[in-house]
Amino acid sequence: MKITPDTKVQNAATFEIFREDHTMGNVIRHKLLQEPQVIFAGYKIPHPLEHNVIIRVQTTNETKPEAMVAKALNDLITEVGYLRTKFMVHK
Protein backbone atom coordinates (compact mmCIF):
# COMPACT_ATOMS: atom_id res chain seq x y z
CA MET A 1 0.00 0.00 0.00
CA LYS A 2 1.13 3.53 -0.71
CA ILE A 3 -0.12 6.42 1.43
CA THR A 4 0.15 9.93 0.04
CA PRO A 5 -0.87 12.83 2.28
CA ASP A 6 -2.62 15.67 0.51
CA THR A 7 -0.29 18.66 0.08
CA LYS A 8 -3.08 21.25 0.11
CA VAL A 9 -5.79 19.88 2.37
CA GLN A 10 -5.34 19.13 6.07
CA ASN A 11 -6.18 15.64 7.31
CA ALA A 12 -6.55 14.23 3.83
CA ALA A 13 -4.69 11.39 2.16
CA THR A 14 -4.94 8.89 -0.66
CA PHE A 15 -4.34 5.20 -0.08
CA GLU A 16 -3.27 3.19 -3.09
CA ILE A 17 -3.95 -0.51 -2.51
CA PHE A 18 -2.22 -2.87 -4.91
CA ARG A 19 -3.86 -5.99 -6.34
CA GLU A 20 -7.35 -5.10 -5.08
CA ASP A 21 -10.52 -4.04 -6.90
CA HIS A 22 -14.13 -2.84 -6.35
CA THR A 23 -14.66 -5.62 -3.78
CA MET A 24 -12.39 -4.02 -1.20
CA GLY A 25 -12.53 -0.44 -2.48
CA ASN A 26 -16.29 -0.18 -2.08
CA VAL A 27 -16.47 -2.02 1.22
CA ILE A 28 -13.79 0.21 2.82
CA ARG A 29 -15.35 3.39 1.44
CA HIS A 30 -18.73 2.33 2.81
CA LYS A 31 -17.31 1.68 6.29
CA LEU A 32 -15.44 5.00 6.29
CA LEU A 33 -18.59 6.94 5.43
CA GLN A 34 -20.30 5.56 8.53
CA GLU A 35 -17.83 7.45 10.73
CA PRO A 36 -18.86 10.97 11.78
CA GLN A 37 -15.20 12.07 11.78
CA VAL A 38 -14.88 11.27 8.09
CA ILE A 39 -15.63 14.28 5.91
CA PHE A 40 -14.91 12.58 2.61
CA ALA A 41 -14.31 9.03 1.47
CA GLY A 42 -14.24 7.82 -2.10
CA TYR A 43 -12.53 5.23 -4.23
CA LYS A 44 -11.55 4.82 -7.85
CA ILE A 45 -9.86 2.36 -10.14
CA PRO A 46 -7.92 4.70 -12.42
CA HIS A 47 -7.25 2.18 -15.20
CA PRO A 48 -8.87 -1.20 -15.96
CA LEU A 49 -5.53 -2.80 -16.84
CA GLU A 50 -3.76 -1.69 -13.67
CA HIS A 51 -4.93 -3.71 -10.70
CA ASN A 52 -4.88 -1.00 -8.08
CA VAL A 53 -7.56 0.86 -6.19
CA ILE A 54 -7.19 4.38 -4.80
CA ILE A 55 -9.12 5.45 -1.71
CA ARG A 56 -9.22 9.10 -0.76
CA VAL A 57 -10.11 10.09 2.80
CA GLN A 58 -10.50 13.42 4.52
CA THR A 59 -11.20 13.59 8.25
CA THR A 60 -11.93 16.23 10.85
CA ASN A 61 -9.12 17.64 13.02
CA GLU A 62 -9.90 15.14 15.77
CA THR A 63 -8.24 12.31 13.91
CA LYS A 64 -6.11 11.28 10.92
CA PRO A 65 -7.10 9.47 7.70
CA GLU A 66 -4.73 6.59 8.56
CA ALA A 67 -6.48 6.10 11.89
CA MET A 68 -9.92 6.05 10.31
CA VAL A 69 -8.86 3.53 7.65
CA ALA A 70 -7.35 1.37 10.39
CA LYS A 71 -10.62 1.58 12.31
CA ALA A 72 -12.66 0.75 9.21
CA LEU A 73 -10.52 -2.34 8.59
CA ASN A 74 -10.83 -3.40 12.21
CA ASP A 75 -14.60 -3.03 12.10
CA LEU A 76 -14.72 -5.02 8.87
CA ILE A 77 -12.74 -7.88 10.42
CA THR A 78 -15.17 -7.96 13.34
CA GLU A 79 -18.22 -7.90 11.09
CA VAL A 80 -17.01 -10.55 8.65
CA GLY A 81 -15.73 -12.72 11.49
CA TYR A 82 -19.10 -12.44 13.19
CA LEU A 83 -20.98 -13.34 10.01
CA ARG A 84 -18.68 -16.28 9.40
CA THR A 85 -19.34 -17.78 12.82
CA LYS A 86 -23.08 -17.16 12.35
CA PHE A 87 -22.99 -19.06 9.07
CA MET A 88 -20.97 -21.89 10.60
CA VAL A 89 -23.50 -22.32 13.40
CA HIS A 90 -26.52 -22.24 11.09
CA LYS A 91 -25.43 -24.64 8.36
Partner 1 sequence: MDLFSPANKPEIRIQELTGERIRFILTNTDLSMANALRRIMISEVATIAIDMVQFDLNTSVLADEFIAHRLGLIPLDSTEADKIKYPRDCNCSGACKECSVELNLHVKCTEEDTTKDVTSKDLVSHDPRFTPITEGPKDAGILIAKLRKGQEIKVKCIAKKGVAKEHAKWSPCAAVAFEYDPFNKLRHTHYWIEEDEKKEWPQSKNANDDFPPLDDEIFDFTAKPNRFYFEIETIGSMKPEDIVMNAFKKLLEKISSIQMGLHSNDVPINGREPTRDVF
Residues 6+ apart with CB under 8 A from 24: 17, 53
What is the x/- site pattern for partner 1, positions 24-53, by CB under 8 A?
x-xxxxxx--xxx-----------------
Is residue 9 involved in binding partner 1 (CB under 8 A)? Answer: no
Residue 91 DSSP label: -
According to CB under 8 A, which one of 9, 22, 44, 60 is a site residue for partner 1? 22
Task: Out of 12, 41, 57, 69, point to the residue binding partner 1 (CB under 8 A).
Answer: 69
Left, alpha or beta for 13 (phi > 0: left; psi -120 to 50: alpha)? Answer: beta
